[in-house]
Amino acid sequence: MIRDPEGFDIFLGNLRRFVRERLVPHEKSVMENDEVPEGIVREMAEQGMFGYSIPEEYGGAGMTTEELVLAALELSQCSVAFRARVGTNTGIGSEALVADGTPEQKKKYLPLLASGALTGSFALTEPEAGSEATALKSTARREGDVYILNGTKCFITNAPIAGLFTVMARTNPDAPGAAGISAFIVERDTPGLSTGKPYRKMGQEGSPVSEVHFQDCRVPAVNLIGGQEGMGFRTAMKVLNKQRIHLAALCTGPAIRMLDEAIRFVTERRQFGQPLADFQLIQAMIADCQTEIHAARALILETARQRDRGEDVALAASMCKYFASEMCGRVADRCVQMFGGYGYIADHGIERFYRDVRLFRLYEGTSQIHQLNIAKRTLAAHGYREGQ
């Protein structure tokens, strides 16, 4: 749902120019320095990028799901580090509060996230509970008016720079699976919270990721999201269902950019006296890329509209993330191929995208987990239960 089509078109045009004029020129320096310059972060905050999906009453743009994915398609047509810098605030780092936070929690934290004054981070994954989120070992024990958190989270985007963490921990050790999991808001300066050294990664330079450690971390009971124990996993699934649609769009923007770069190269580069673009096998790769990009975009937009209508999108969101992330990997591979030997050379930038987008198929549900989820939901819709 687009609330004001004319105004939103103007917004997208301005965003498109900002990406091309202010962000793209800094891509190389972000890769070399492994950080997004603070001046650029301030400009992004002034553009309202930290608050896209945060309600207007708390200083955000209050975007619908369709508006959010259209903005994501534009913002992600540059190095992944830029959208990752704001992405936790306008996605998983704020969505738990938006979905299930108490009025007091929303009033206290959402304006800070929307403005970019605080960077949010979503701490779910653990060393022994990656794809099986209900197997969490982190614990939260109630003692009077505080909870004592213990445990370790891993692969947490923006953890080294975050000021606020959404943390999933087990409050009831006797309740199996999802039933005993609760969600908490934990501030950076809470005693007992520490973050590890940022990982050295295959790609996505400029997007810091690390472990988060909780050692007898005393969290005020008022920071239990929603004020009720045992609701954390349900909150996490609300967050992830929306974020998977959002992330699918964030996978599609880089594919659009890579294809644009490849087309520019093959139309200018000549072999045997003619442009590479004249060769039919090059044209076949262009056709495959363009078709898959359009298929992903159509699936994402339809799923976003379904969510805006209040429909159950758990299956469709999983399909979006699975298809778009795999599609982006295939586009990256073809585009490097179209560049030939130059595609392997860092100076051309396409090898950076090739490395950056590989992570899409791993986080927020690996492709294999989404395959299982899609199959199980499809079988269940036909009345089949595993093992029957």
The rounded distance, in Å, linking the Cα atoms of 83 and 23 is 10
**DSSP symbol at 129:** B
The rounded radius of gyration (Å) of the Cα atoms in the chain is 21
CB 270 within 8 A of CB 276: yes
The rounded distance, in Å, linking the Cα atoms of 237 and 242 is 9
The rounded distance, in Å, linking the Cα atoms of 349 and 80 is 12
Catalytic residue flag (residue 104): no
Torsion of Cα atoms, 309 then 311 then 317 then 323, to 10°: -80
Catalytic residue among 67, 229, 364, 386: 364
| Pairing, β 193-195 against β 209-220 | antiparallel
Structure tokens at 281: 């096998």
**DSSP symbol at 179:** G
Which long-range contacts link 147-150 to residues 24+ away (Cβ below 8 Å)?
A: 147/171, 147/184, 147/218, 147/219, 147/220, 147/221, 147/223, 147/224, 148/216, 148/217, 148/218, 148/219, 149/184, 149/186, 149/192, 149/214, 149/216, 149/217, 149/218, 149/219, 150/214, 150/215, 150/216, 150/217
The rounded distance, in Å, linking the Cα atoms of 102 and 117 is 21
CB 338 within 8 A of CB 265: yes
Q: Which residues are designated catalytic?
A: 364
